[in-house]
Structure 1
Amino acid sequence: MARTETTVRDERFYDRYTTPSAGALLVTYALALIFLWFGFLKFTQYEAAGIAPLVMNSPLVGWWHGLFGIPGTARMLGVYEILTGLLLAARPFNARIASIGGAMATICFLITITFMFTTPGVVQPGFDNPLAISAFPGQFLLKDVVLLAVSIWILFAARSEASIAKT
């Protein structure tokens, strides 16, 4: 059977919605949901107060509080996170835009992982083992390692999809 434009389109649909690509889509939308949800929470007082100790102890971003104040810093991060979530969610429609979201997510998690080394209370007091980390902020921040890995994967997968779409 000769390959026609219709059969090529059908093959692309099948390839796009196989189990691995469906999993990729689920992971992408899960990360987008996290960014959107956390981004909108940054506009609440309790979330601004909750992230304040993480930000203020960081030599990378601690200066934000002096520049924007605690609520302003939270709102700025909220806008950044909402934009990141929206860009990630564009992946099925525009992989190039999603790759920008992947880069923004990667930057976000690279910064938050540094909080493991700058925030007081990460290592559980009373233990001689530095691997004994507290539930908050230690374990709360440790989960960002996997989110960083997912962000990097989305960045490169979306870039690859965008380059394939060009051809």
Structure 2
Amino acid sequence: MIIPVPLLPRQRTAYLFSRFALAVVFIWIGAMSITGVSAPIFERWISGHALLASLFENNHNIVRYIIGSFELISGLLIALPKLSKKSEALGYNLIAVYCIGALSLMFTNPVWIDALGGFPAIGAGQGIIKYISILGVALWIKQYISTPWQRGSKDSAGFLFIFMGLVVVLLWIGAMKFTLVEAQGIEPLITSSFLFSWMANFLSIQHVSYGIGLIELMTVVALFGWFYSKRIFHIGIMLCLITFISTLSFMISFAGTWLNGFPYLSSSGHFLLKDMVLLAGTIILLAEDKQRR
């Protein structure tokens, strides 16, 4: 399967959707942080952070207000249409800084599954590794608005982080699907889903998890077709699109996405919402594929 060139998204389409996705994610999460809805999430991460735990031992709310304001301002800078390109670029710079800081959480206690012996059995850290691609999307857009319609942005740091981030997320989380702990973790998502619940009628949840994990690992292999086969690469892209659209559908079907209902995100909601930016990263890869033709 090779996608016809006219059907491939242009860079501007990728830019508009990616800008929208970043704005939604950062404004939404920032609002949850400032209002205190995300307080339990901050407590868990800060108490296990190598640096912040000692600096803000009894002042976790201060960190929550600071980070929440940072998230909200970043999202608003790229969302408000009447601001200058410099203001928009500042928003992407702030998001890049935020992503680097968020990735530092990989060195905290809640990241690993102790029952499986810790590293590399990743638990809550599955949401953190998504910031690799989110960082890439921010960097790609910043380069796009400075030199639009360029050929060669596929060689930029943004493109590389998007590609690497998608590979890391799908490879690591896909491999975890072959564990009982991960299968049990996705069970409520699968059984409540209008897309996947039928599987539970024919297969055990562990075998459903095996199947999903296998597809995610196949997607990783197919994405590397970028370097040697457009046909294989496009298969990987299609699988990426299906994966992230499917996970975003859980925000509708899975009640655990919300705390006391919409729009109050739970930790699961935070995890799922970030896939909007990973979906944007996938669209960017398609747009770059069109540029190199």
Q: TM-score, normalised by structure 2?
A: 0.45
> Match of 2:226, SS?
coil
RMSD: 2.1
**Deviation of the 1:157 alpha carbon:** 2.8
Structure 2: segments with no counterpart, 5+ residues: 1-149
**Deviation of the 1:131 alpha carbon:** 2.1
Q: Deviations over 1:55-105 (max 9, x none)?
A: 110011111111221001000001100000111123223333222211110
- Which position in structure 1 is the counterpart of 2:272? 141
Moved over 4 A (4+): none
1:22 aligned onto 2:22: no
> Match of 1:91, SS?
helix
1:150 aligned onto 2:281: yes
Percent of aligned pairs with the same residue?
32
**Deviation of the 1:19 alpha carbon:** 6.2
Whether contact under 8 Å (2:154, 2:288) holds in the other structure is: no
Separation in 1 of the partners of 2:203 and 2:219?
21
**Deviation of the 1:26 alpha carbon:** 3.0
- Give runs of aligned pairs for residues 5-154 of structure 1, distance below 5 A: 20-23=154-157, 24-125=159-260, 130-135=262-267, 137-154=268-285
**Deviation of the 1:151 alpha carbon:** 1.6
Structure 1: segments with no counterpart, 5+ residues: 1-14
Change (3 A) 1:159 1:42: farther
Whether contact under 8 Å (1:99, 1:159) holds in the other structure is: no
> Match of 1:90, SS?
helix
Q: Deviations over 1:23-81 (max 9, x none)?
A: 31331122012111111110000011111111110011111111221001000001100
Q: Which amino acid aligns with 1:86?
A: V
Q: TM-score, normalised by structure 1?
A: 0.77
Change (3 A) 1:96 1:28: farther
